[in-house]
Structure 1
Amino acid sequence: MDVLRAIWSGDCKLENLKSEADATYRRLLCDVEERRAEAKRRSQEMKDIAADERVALLEEGRRAKQELKGLEAEASKVQSALQAGLLTLPMPPDPEVPEGSDDSQNVELRTWGEVPDFSFDAKDHVSLGADLGILDIPRGVKLAGSRNYLLLGDGARLEQAVLRFAVAHMTAKGFDLASVPILVNHACMEGTGYFPGGEEQTYAVPKDDLFLSGTSEVPLTAIHSGETLEESDLPVRRIALSPCFRREAGTYGKEAHGLYRVHQFWKVEQMVIGPNDEDWSIEEQGKMLAHAEEFVQALEIPYRVVDVCTGDLGQGQVRKFDIEAWMPSRGSWGETHSASRFHDFQARRLNLRYKPSGGGKPRFCHTLNNTVAATPRLLIPLLELGQQSNGDVVLPEALESFMGKVLLENPAKG
């Protein structure tokens, strides 16, 4: 079929896909309904005709039934192709989003803190962690292959301290803590916009048709899929602390060094479901970004906020702001947080609606999310920025109550 070939070959522009496939599907549907009506008419006629006349009519009915099956199959194919094509359509970006082709054209909005100028030969987090006896990458690789690691002793305690601080920070902001599955079904991945397109980066469990989630955004957002909430129940503000898994296919060089981009990590994610109100969404995104900035400031990490350009936005993101922490070993900023708003992109795919309090038809919700803390990536600036000339590492005071101390002593300093 021409429409199917156009869809799968890419010859048909996505903006024309819906109208062309819709027209084809409607035509086929009309044909199907006409054939069904004809079959019903013949069935009624059979009652009123002589037995010797029924043979020809029965043969005609069999042919019509076969034609009907063919039309139904064709209509089903067009409908499936239409749905598959529509699932790849991106969300139109906010008019305020800067134009650009990739992350090099993201626009810096502000910075916080001072980038340090060490008076000694500073080490990277891999060397610091090894010297302190808290990080062992070679043995992590031995256990599970590349981009794996072991955090030992104070390294494991530091990771947990960061995550516990993140949870405490967000519960104080009124967010509810949720414990969510890390194995999710295809509908969750598709509903939140990770499928189609993100299959290559996702670990699958084919035997059970489940997938290891790369972020708790997926289960958090999908909790109310297929539901119609009351407007009085909005907004829903939740956080989750969960292990996350990503294949990270196609990343090399400094992106793969040390703890920056690994296959397994922990993350505290903030997620909000709210009303279909653009002004509200814009204001809420600002609040969520502020929550993350306050957290990074408490960790005394210099950072910058960038307005992500059109070419670096995800499929469903209307606007996104990234927080990038200063990482001395990289000699640059490294992304640690992404605050995104989706309008109704995810809600439509998840069929997530609410009843307006003033009456009227149910409307699709707006959804937003943002990182609170992702480890071990945050350990990179914490170790590198806190290093001392004698090999010790001084941690920010905000972690003392969760860590029990702020000094990681170098056992070899003598």
Structure 2
Amino acid sequence: MTRPRIVIVGAGFAGYRAARTLARLTRFRATVTLLNPTDYFLYLPLLPQVSAGILEPRRVTVSLPGTLRRVRLVLGEADRVDLDGRTVHYTDPEGGRGTLAYDRLVLAVGSVNKLLPIPGVAEHAHGYRGLPEALYLRDHVTRQVELAAAEDDPVTRAARCTFVVVGAGYTGTEVAAHMQRLTDDLVHRHPLRAGMRPRWMLLDVAPRVLPELDERLSRTADRVLRERGVDVRTGTSVKEATHDGVLLTDGESVASRTLVWCVGVRPDPLVEATGQPLRRGRLIVDPYLQVPGRPEVFACGDAAAVPDLDHPGRSTPMTAQHAWRQGAVAGRNVAASLGLAPAPRPYHHRDLGFVVDLGGAQAAANPLGLPLAGPLAGAVTRGYHLAAMPGNRARVTADWLLDAVLPRQGVQLGLVRSWSVPLDTASPELARTAGGPPGRPDT
């Protein structure tokens, strides 16, 4: 008999966990295929440490072929899903076209940057959703400090030393916290004139930082950032962006060469292209993660509006914690639908708390609802990440130990240029077809 074909689209938190669960449950009784643009799973929560020079880039990447031994990896970007024909059409990294047929489909395509209709943002801001953006930000910030150190014009020097982060959620807060420490370290090697120091601004329209998390975590993060000199502006955002700076919604004009866009995410456009019912851009699924009317299709992670059984009428938030656990449930339920596992079970989430790494020994955490701050929270945060990572634990630990005793290497690698990391990550064709910079300066 022909083995059933299971196709998983996306190897983020949800897709990777679904693939690992299915590999364990099916044990060669089904063909499990994973379609993903890269050959690694990216552990997103540690990206700010890559930008800050604490971790080497490969530490936050986990090899898909190396850790998913019974899963077939296909490198490619999904272009279209034909639900009636039960096929997924994709483009490989070299522009070739391919098709995958399935008996069961798991959509775990994740999310892309949330774009707002603000003049100049798409042209002059950079997002923070992947390894290229993290590497680019590190090079760019290092370059600005080095150029400012040799700059005679005080206005240009101040602009190069002003860094604006929009979005004080989980990602934006950690980026501002870690990068502020990096620039302080850099200026010790490139002293700025007249006692100047880098200026970091963290903006958000919400009334507090980390608005989606516990208020105690928010207060801790706000205090740590302000004590370090970060200019935290709540109730404020960007009205317009140019190459020379940003205009804020309160009317202030800020000269800057750096705009980091961390305002949030939206589901990958492939979800909308399926033509199935959506809720706030996410594919509607039942508690078993199945698409209504399409019992062969499952969805999880940021792409799916999964019912929150503890709060009827709501969907689970778009967080890595939910995606990771939904991936396991999706994998189990797919196997159960094929008779390869016990009865399916609904997704029910128990909140274990959140951790926010603020750089150095500082963090904010509430494991099991217990609020922590300072070095203890820092230890809990790093312990949580080590436990959550599906690989590279020894290498990550080694980098942390080296960072504690050795100075960071503040150099530009020049591997990622500005034009290769456009803010609109919803347009993979741009990255595939771009043959060079479209005339935009990289400074």
Q: Same fold (TM over 0.5)?
A: no
TM-score by length of 1: 0.22
Decide which structure has the larger Cα Rg and report it: 1
TM-score by length of 2: 0.21
